[in-house]
Amino acid sequence: MVIDKIANHGLYTGLGGRIALALAYIKETDFSAAAPGKYKIDDDVIFAIVQEYNTKDKSECKLEGHFKYTDIQYIVSGAELMGVTTLTSQTPVYKNADEDYALFESDPAFFRIDPGMFAIFFPDDLHMPCVQLERSARVKKVVVKVHLR
């Protein structure tokens, strides 16, 4: 897991060309007027999903994990908490291989992610996004999916 400001994206080029390309895409794109939806960067190898939603109480959220893709979650506007824990011996309570996600139950640590910040979640990072701070608020986020191979 990595949490940082997009202004520091250059520090992470050593994580691989695909992650470097995804971070550069986030840094160079003005998402303020982007409509929700899927945007291809490199076919299905790297793509972005623009989302707008209201944050939820953590009791309504689940930890998720991915097997084929690394998530880079970037906050455009609003703020949220993101929970994270390491995948160890947890067993999924639900798995959808076609959509590349599984849901888990565990106790994550939470971090506040503000506009201009991103989090990188690798397959060993179970994460719980969309969690409200004190109360529900509107968030605009970009999730860039980076295929592992």
Number of domains in the chain: 1
What is the pTM (predicted TM-score) of this model?
0.95
Q: What is the pLDDT of residues 2-49, one digit of tens each?
A: 999 999 999 999 999 999 999 999 999 999 999 999 999 998 899 999
Residue 125's domain comprises 2-147
The letter for the amino acid at 60 is: E
Q: CA-based angle 8:112:82, to the nearest 5?
A: 100
Residue 58 DSSP code:
G
User: Residue 43 contacts by C-beta under 8 Å, 6 or more apart in sequence?
Assistant: none
- The answer to whether 55 and 136 have CB atoms below 8 angstroms apart is yes
Which CATH number does the domain housing residue 113 bear? 2.60.120.370
How does pLDDT run across 86-96, given as a tens digit for each residue? Answer: 999 999 999 99
